[in-house]
Structure 1
Amino acid sequence: MTTTHIWFTPEGIEDLLPPQAEKLEFYRRELLDLFAASGYELIKPPIAEFFDSLLTGSGQDLSRETCTFVDQESGRTMGVRADTTPQVARIAASRLRAREGAPLRLCYAGDTLKARYNRARGTRNPYQTGVELFNVPGKAGDAEILLLLLESMDALGLAPITLSLGHAGLIKRVLSECSLPESEAGVLLTLLNRKRYPEYQAWLNANLHYIPYDLQALFTDWFELSGEAETVIDQTKSLLSAYPEMVAELDGMLDLLALLKAAAPHVRIFADLAEIRGYYYHTGLMFSTYVVDEHDRALVVARGGRYDGIAEAFDNPMSATGFSLDLRAVLDLLAPVERTGQRVWAPMEADPQLHEKVRDLRSEGYEVVWCEATPDGAVCKLSKINGLWTIENDEA
């Protein structure tokens, strides 16, 4: 019996080899340094915890994506995290409760695991990096997170970037004004999610009597509310003119848009107010960033938005917003990392001065490799000359 079968990893799970592993680590460090410089504190949730904790609150959608096993200590079901966000909410609402009411800025980076392999999403083992901002409600929190998101795209060297805005809270307000049966509301959300316009038209004709007259024009044009952000928002305002609270929400989006354009004029900003991905999870503004790959395909880099309801499950309601991205998924889009340290070969000798010299060189950025004999083709090596360990360069 051969052992080749043990060389293979499960479908959707891959080893990360040189130089890709070093590349991931470099950009992870770039992002974490940016987050720290923006006032965010690093946390490291456990890779696994009790299954019900991983699904608490808005995390319920993760049930089918979470790998589970029985804890041999307690007998309870545990899960390997499929998303870090619910863990961050748990920590913020419980372990950091002493900071209750004050703005709380947290960041993280680590592996996650998906129970199912979705070829469109690629790996089952995303390396999730992100930030979460608690207790900064409304436009102020949304602005801070979006500015940091765009800075993160710059830190990764990704360009050109497209930012897409949606608003789950606005859609929920619109539906709350209607008398749609729950089953019909579910059909509507499915049609919006799948962008099935002909079926939507048939659904609208059959359910128009459930929709207030002042909202019927919005429902008629809903599929057209996608495109250049300012144009779409102005169009939506005119369709919702009878609802001052919704218009105020849209005015807030325009203010945010002006801020983003001033901070990042190179970023294209679109709005899709028929976008419902994350509808059950998000409570307000939703957003994502895209880049176009070499095959002219739009690839999602990061997603985020407001999810004020998640911490309520931990008996500590607080506003929350944030974003995350999978570094592993975007590695091929990132520039190669150049190793700047010059390699020096050092003889394996019992000389205190040699070992001190090696430590000094490494602290200066050199790559110093121990060897019994200097390999063929080596350019730089340490040699003892006149009693001092010195770098000899054979290229000279």
Structure 2
Amino acid sequence: MTMIPPGLLPEGLSDRLPPQAEASARLTRRVLDTVASHGYERVMPPLAEFEETLVGRLKSVRAQDLVRVVDPVSQRSLALRPDMTAQVGRIAATRLAGMARPLRLSYAGPVIRLKANQLRPEREKLQLGAELIGSDGVAAAVEIVNVAIEALQAAGVTGITIDFTLPDLIDALAAGPLPLAAEEIEAVRSELDAKDAGALVAISPQAAAYLPLIEATGPFHAAMERLEALDHALGGAIASRIAGLRAIAKPIGWDINLTLDPTERHGFEYQNWFGFSIFAEGFIGEIGRGGSYAIAHADGTDEPAVGFSLYPDPLIDAGFGSDSPRRLFVPIGADAARTAALRSEGWHTVAALGAGEDGASLRCSHWLDGAEPRAY
């Protein structure tokens, strides 16, 4: 058998080394502290669950897409989590079912996928987020979107864009003012996602009626006007959704870019009336998403919820959260009380363990000269 080199890791998995590991922890702390300041309490679900339990709550991932193992204790299949939102939903529906609503929960931890995507080759990702459980109304949506923005700003992110979508819009229109045959619905969704007007028209005359939704895409206010024009032609069939989006967008700061793609479905398979993606200037692909959804309870009822998840690995790779700490080299024999006082002031002290150590080579910017730090 070929010997695996000791430093080799499976494809898509990697180590985080100094200073990125500390940057990751610092960015996570800033996000969680911001979320906690709005009343969200942290939960810590396990890395693996019974496969059947986890799959039952994952609406956008199939069992064959999970990393699975056999539990040597129960002899049952376990799955490593590809998403923490489903686990938070399980906790809310079981362990915390008796707590007062609305219930505000936050979380942070690694998730792992069986396969990576083309934009990000990593199979293991850091996921941070917050869920507001018990309501999916406009007030709850306003809160969750603005908490997500505030958390990113606290982490130093600028140039933020929020792209809104209406995940169940096609279903609502197909069942009402713009009827479609059952076999046409998925095709219409696909062509709207691709923004392919010609292919949409080729499906059927009924499908062609969805063409205005392609035009209702782009900068938020102009796109909303086109969506409102369509709604007027349909007799106000989606007026409540439009009013909801207007209300969510209203309190968002002027420095945040807003866009609309009303038929975007990729990544929003389990959201219902509204969803949003988060982008940041200088980064390819989204760094987070959120929206409204339903949590299934054991008695067959569904509970409304709204939340967001951030995937900050690209931010960490780009240096966000990597504020360099002040590292101070402490020679042998230095005053312990003075060294402790400097740590309380924010210095990171690196104590010499033997003669001849070089603080600069230990990545220290200063050394302790008697009682005072001196720059190298």
Following superposition, the deviation at residue 119 of structure 1 comes to: 2.9
Partner of 2:304: 319
Please give the per-residue CA displacement for 1:33-69, whole angstroms capped at 9, x wherever unaligned.
1011111001100001111221223435243331001
Following superposition, the deviation at residue 79 of structure 1 comes to: 0.5
**Per the alignment, in what secondary structure is the counterpart of residue 296 of structure 2?**
helix
- Contact 2:27-2:321 within 8 A present in 1 as well: no
Following superposition, the deviation at residue 96 of structure 1 comes to: 0.5
Q: Distance in 2 between matches of 1:144 and 1:53?
A: 30
Give the letter aligned to residue 343 of structure 2.
R
Task: State how 1:176-255 maps to structure 2 within 5 Å.
Answer: 176-177=175-176, 178-205=178-205, 208=206, 217=209, 219-241=210-232, 242-255=234-247
Task: State how 1:72-151 maps to structure 2 within 5 Å.
Answer: 72-100=72-100, 102-151=101-150
- Contact 1:39-1:105 within 8 A present in 2 as well: yes
- Contact 1:48-1:79 within 8 A present in 2 as well: yes
Partner of 2:324: 339
Aligned-residue identity in percent: 29
**Per the alignment, in what secondary structure is the counterpart of residue 320 of structure 1?**
strand
Following superposition, the deviation at residue 330 of structure 1 comes to: 2.4
- Contact 2:167-2:263 within 8 A present in 1 as well: no
Q: Distance in 1 between matches of 2:10 and 2:281?
A: 29
Partner of 2:69: 69
Q: Distance in 2 between matches of 1:169 and 1:376?
A: 62
What TM-score, normalized to structure 2?
0.89
Q: Distance in 2 between matches of 1:31 and 1:279?
A: 23
Name the count of aligned residue pairs: 368
Larger Rg: 1
- Contact 2:290-2:308 within 8 A present in 1 as well: yes
Partner of 1:386: none
**Per the alignment, in what secondary structure is the counterpart of residue 61 of structure 1?**
coil
- Contact 1:344-1:366 within 8 A present in 2 as well: no
Q: Distance in 1 between matches of 2:327 and 2:318?
A: 27
**Per the alignment, in what secondary structure is the counterpart of residue 61 of structure 2?**
helix
Query: Aligned match of 2:292 in 282, 303, 306?
Result: 306
Following superposition, the deviation at residue 245 of structure 1 comes to: 4.9
Partner of 2:16: 16
- Contact 2:231-2:237 within 8 A present in 1 as well: no
Give the letter aligned to residue 322 of structure 2.
V
Q: Distance in 1 between matches of 2:348 and 2:281?
A: 37
Q: Distance in 2 between matches of 1:339 and 1:140?
A: 39
Partner of 1:256: 248
**Per the alignment, in what secondary structure is the counterpart of residue 56 of structure 1?**
helix
Partner of 2:273: 284
- Comparing both structures, which one devotes a greater share of its residues to helix? 1
Q: Distance in 2 between matches of 1:364 and 1:132?
A: 36
Q: What RMSD in Å do the two structures reach over aligned CA positions?
A: 2.6
Change (3 A) 1:395 1:179: closer
Change (3 A) 1:391 1:186: same
Give the letter aligned to residue 125 of structure 1.
E
2:371 paired with 1:391: yes
Larger displacement relative to structure 2 (102-111 or 171-180): 171-180
**Per the alignment, in what secondary structure is the counterpart of residue 323 of structure 1?**
strand
Following superposition, the deviation at residue 98 of structure 1 comes to: 1.3
2:349 paired with 1:375: no
Please give the per-residue CA displacement for 1:162-191, whole angstroms capped at 9, x wherever unaligned.
111111133321122254332221222222
Partner of 1:265: 254
Q: Distance in 1 between matches of 2:223 and 2:185?
A: 23
Give the letter aligned to residue 5 of structure 2.
H
Q: Distance in 1 between matches of 2:277 and 2:62?
A: 20
Partner of 1:25: 25
- Contact 1:50-1:78 within 8 A present in 2 as well: yes
Q: Distance in 2 between matches of 1:104 and 1:42?
A: 11
Partner of 2:363: none
Give the letter aligned to residue 347 of structure 2.
Y
Q: Distance in 1 between matches of 2:143 and 2:190?
A: 32
Give the letter aligned to residue 308 of structure 2.
F
Larger displacement relative to structure 2 (33-42 or 278-287): 278-287
Give the letter aligned to residue 240 of structure 1.
D
Change (3 A) 1:28 1:228: same
Give the letter aligned to residue 286 of structure 2.
V
- Contact 2:169-2:263 within 8 A present in 1 as well: no
**Per the alignment, in what secondary structure is the counterpart of residue 286 of structure 2?**
strand
Change (3 A) 1:114 1:58: closer
Following superposition, the deviation at residue 88 of structure 1 comes to: 0.3
Q: Distance in 1 between matches of 2:155 and 2:23?
A: 11
Structure 2 residues not aligned, in runs of 5+ = 361-365
Following superposition, the deviation at residue 299 of structure 1 comes to: 2.9
